[in-house]
């Protein structure tokens, strides 16, 4: 299958330093200065073409029920204009994916996933329901606008009441933004105050030019690993393989709503696991030097205790990584070893979301 270019490609192809092919799309790697891109996200405002985010439309009288059957958060309890993040699970409560549900109306949702091959999974779960499910990513490009100055920039490009958007809400009807109609959401993948815009392909260049002219710095995937590891954000096939980990293994406790009215696959199995989760997701502080690989074994005094899922070199914190650790080892300050080739290096367990564990920035 030929990989797709995003709707922003006519302009990013003239600005980006390079592209990489992954999951059926071409992604901009960086725009010539990764350190400046990092600073923009953490200190100013950055813009990222995240059109390859896999998006699905659920329409029909049973759209909410169809999404609830696979999602661990409380989908049935959502209001119009609300977004909820959580895990997509199988009958055993194991993660298939993780992502968001956007409620436009009771019969109209957007569902966003990491994987692009979830249609069969969704259709199987929705058997017997009045719902139509379609893959809409090519028809719905998206851009992230992230950083402590993002509200200021977004406000400058629209007359819509941006201040009314709380964390994990969106305007379910298009607004005028930078001279084009978009759907504006207060969500993102940075651990910072941020927004996402969703739009039709014919408006992509207008929106890009308006956001960049307003002062945003374009960034690419090269800066995403340190950003997301600092923020404790997981990605399918990096931090877990489908059907192998529970939401509790990867820090999703808060979005598994066992007491909500909605039923989802694996709920009873997760109720059992929740009583005594065997593993926890933590940050590891790693030593300077060569970085261990994704999936490197973690030991304590030679005994296997976990796995380093995502290593990265943070401009702010140095070498760090996300790790799934046995619960009795997942304590701040605990000393462990991480495999590096034929040897091990010492590492220290630290708090998850090391940059902002209380998530104050995203809620500011």
Residue 149 has pLDDT above 70, yes or no: yes
Q: What is the pLDDT of residue 3?
A: 93
* Same domain assignment for residues 166 and 283: no
Q: Does residue 122 lie in a domain region? A: no
How far apart are alpha carbons 231 and 191 in whole angstroms? 5
**pLDDT tens-digit profile of 164-215?**
999 999 999 999 999 999 999 999 999 999 999 999 999 999 999 999 999 9
Q: What is the CATH number of the domain that holds 211?
A: 3.30.1360.120
Residue 1 has pLDDT above 70, yes or no: no
What SS3 class is residue 67? Answer: helix
Residue 34 has pLDDT above 80, yes or no: yes
Q: Are 75 and 101 in contact (CB under 8 A)?
A: yes
* Same domain assignment for residues 208 and 285: no
* Same domain assignment for residues 212 and 361: no
* Same domain assignment for residues 190 and 299: no
pTM of the full structure: 0.97
* Same domain assignment for residues 189 and 295: no
Q: Does residue 172 lie in a domain region? A: yes
How far apart are alpha carbons 240 and 229 in whole angstroms? 14
Q: Does residue 262 lie in a domain region? A: no
Q: Does residue 169 lie in a domain region? A: yes
Q: Does residue 315 lie in a domain region? A: yes
Q: Are 310 and 230 in contact (CB under 8 A)?
A: no
Q: Does residue 204 lie in a domain region? A: yes
**pLDDT tens-digit profile of 240-279?**
999 999 999 999 999 999 999 999 999 999 999 999 999 9
- Which of 227, 248, 264 marks a domain boundary? 227
Alpha helices in the chain (DSSP H): 9-12, 34-43, 63-68, 119-125, 150-156, 204-213, 224-231, 267-274
Over range 316-326, report the average pLDDT: 98
Q: Are 145 and 155 in contact (CB under 8 A)?
A: no
For tokens 């739009």, the residue is 199
Q: What is the pLDDT of residue 2?
A: 87
* Same domain assignment for residues 349 and 208: no
Q: What is the pLDDT of residue 96?
A: 98
Q: What is the pLDDT of residue 320?
A: 98
* Same domain assignment for residues 223 and 292: no
Print the domain residue range for 340.
Answer: 278-364
Number of compact structural domains in the chain: 2
Q: Does residue 266 lie in a domain region? A: no
How far apart are alpha carbons 199 and 177 in whole angstroms? 10
* Same domain assignment for residues 152 and 217: yes
Q: Does residue 38 lie in a domain region? A: yes
Q: What is the pLDDT of residue 289?
A: 95
What SS3 class is residue 157? Answer: coil
Average pLDDT across the chain, whole number: 98
* Same domain assignment for residues 30 and 175: yes
* Same domain assignment for residues 221 and 145: yes
* Same domain assignment for residues 282 and 354: yes
* Same domain assignment for residues 293 and 168: no
335-340 and 95-105 strand pairing:
unpaired
- Which of 166, 192, 227 marks a domain boundary? 227
* Nearest of 282, 285, 231 to residue 41 by alpha carbon: 231
Q: What is the CATH number of the domain that holds 362?
A: 2.40.30.110
């Amino acid at each position: 299958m030929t990989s797709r270019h995003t709707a922003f490609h006519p302009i990013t192809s003239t600005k980006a330093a390079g592209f990489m092919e992954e999951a059926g799309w071409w992604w901009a790697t960086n725009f010539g200065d990764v350190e400046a891109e990092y600073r923009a996200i953490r200190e100013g405002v950055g813009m990222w073409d995240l059109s390859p985010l896999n998006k699905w439309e659920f329409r029909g009288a049973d759209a909410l029920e169809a999404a609830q059957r696979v999602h661990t958060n409380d989908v049935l309890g959502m209001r119009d204009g609300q977004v909820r993040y959580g895990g997509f699970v199988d009958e055993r409560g194991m993660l298939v994916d993780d992502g968001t549900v956007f409620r436009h109306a009771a019969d109209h949702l957007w569902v966003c996933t990491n994987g692009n091959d979830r249609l069969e999974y969704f259709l199987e779960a929705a058997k017997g329901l009045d719902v139509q499910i379609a893959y809409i990513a090519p028809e719905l490009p998206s851009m992230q606008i992230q950083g402590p100055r993002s509200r200021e920039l977004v406000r400058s490009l629209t007359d819509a009441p941006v201040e009314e958007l709380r964390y994990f809400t969106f305007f379910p009807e298009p607004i005028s933004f930078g001279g084009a109609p978009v759907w504006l959401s207060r969500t993102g993948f940075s651990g910072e105050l941020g927004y996402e815009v969703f739009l039709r392909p014919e408006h992509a260049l207008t929106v890009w030019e308006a956001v960049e002219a307003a002062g945003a710095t374009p960034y690419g995937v090269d800066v995403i690993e340190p950003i997301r590891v600092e923020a404790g954000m997981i990605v399918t096939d990096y931090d877990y393989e489908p059907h192998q980990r529970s939401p509790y293994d990867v820090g999703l406790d808060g979005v598994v709503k066992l007491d909500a009215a909605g039923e989802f696959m694996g709920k009873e199995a997760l109720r059992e696991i929740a009583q005594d989760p065997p593993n926890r997701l933590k940050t590891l502080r790693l030593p300077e030097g060569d970085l261990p690989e994704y999936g490197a074994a973690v030991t304590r005094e030679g005994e296997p205790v976990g796995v380093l899922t995502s290593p990265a070199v943070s401009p702010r914190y140095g070498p760090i990584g996300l790790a799934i650790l046995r619960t009795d080892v997942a304590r701040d300050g605990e000393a462990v070893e991480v495999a590096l080739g034929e040897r091990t290096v010492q590492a220290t367990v630290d708090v998850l979301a090391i940059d902002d564990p209380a998530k104050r920035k995203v809620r500011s």
